Amino acid sequence: MPEGNIIHRLARIHRRWLVGRGFSADSPQGRFSEGARHLSGRTLVAVDAHGKHLFHHFEGGVRLHIHLGLFGNLRHFRTGAPPPSPACRLRLASPHATLHLSGPQACELLSPQAEATLRARLGEDPLRPEASPARAFESLRRGRSPLAIALLDQERISGVGNILRAEALFLARLPPLLPASELRLEDFERLWEALRELLEDAARDGRIVAPRAPPAPWETPGRRREDRFNVYDRAGQPCPRCATPISRLELASRALFFCERCQSPGAGARRARQSRATR
């Protein structure tokens, strides 16, 4: 499932390429034919992202909500769009830009009230300028579920997926199995900053490149950068900080990757004390 960085990147691209254009709309698959009729002939006036949710606002107050889910695919073409596949749920076409949407978890028209209700259920999104770290901290600390599980709850913090949680917890030196209710403010501040920086960096070009991560084995010098991780999908490989083999754990049917030494209880506090001692 695309994480928040991908959705924000799509929103930025669509604002640059698509806002101000009028579109014809149809549903080659047939499952969104009525919605497509409401969209057809309207001009796109705004695009916004919140976590893993994408919102397109058209003239006349018509609002399109997209959630790609596990299998969704959204392709955009500047010119020369190919014929849509039989699975294409929605095609938006203009002389200068075309979108093909297939396999989404959600593709629906929402009233302003329904959109506001949906957004109110979503947690704080580190990429949104109005995001409140204080609200995110209080929301994240509800209950005693492991921190690694709480981070994937989109009603606590919005936009975090499996890759981002692994890399942010590693950068913040936090144990993934720490009960969320025991998270301290100073530890949360490191975690929030790690999430914000990872998301913002990845939203720029669609790649998650964790700070100080080892090079990917398939990288080619001179080409665009590739995804690079410290712990995610690196089970058994050495931690880039301490060389301890990276651990893999199944948690709530999701693979969790972490360093048992760098992310042991108290690791972040020890690092903070060492940093103060060297000042």
The model carries a pTM of 0.89
Dmax of the chain from CA atoms? 66
CA distances from 273 to 37, 225, 240 (A): 62, 35, 21
Which H or E run contains 134? helix 133-140
**How many CB atoms lie under 10 A from the CB of residue 233?**
14
Provide the residue ranges of all domains of the chain, joining segments of one domain with +.
Answer: 4-121, 133-210+227-264
Tens digits of pLDDT across the chain (279 residues)? 789 999 999 999 999 989 999 999 999 999 999 999 999 999 999 999 999 999 999 999 999 999 999 999 999 898 889 999 999 999 999 998 999 999 999 999 999 999 999 999 999 999 999 999 999 999 999 999 999 999 999 999 999 999 999 999 999 999 999 999 999 999 999 999 999 999 999 999 888 999 989 876 655 555 556 789 999 999 999 999 999 999 999 999 999 999 999 999 876 555 555 545 444
Tracing tokens 């709850």 back to the chain, one arrives at 153
Q: Which residues are catalytic?
A: 2-3, 52, 254
Do residues 208 and 230 make contact, with C-beta atoms less than 8 angstroms apart? no
Nearest to 200 by CA among 252, 253, 164, 151: 164
For domain 133-210+227-264, give the CATH number. Answer: 1.10.8.50
For domain 4-121, give the CATH superfamily: MutM-like, N-terminal (3.20.190.10)
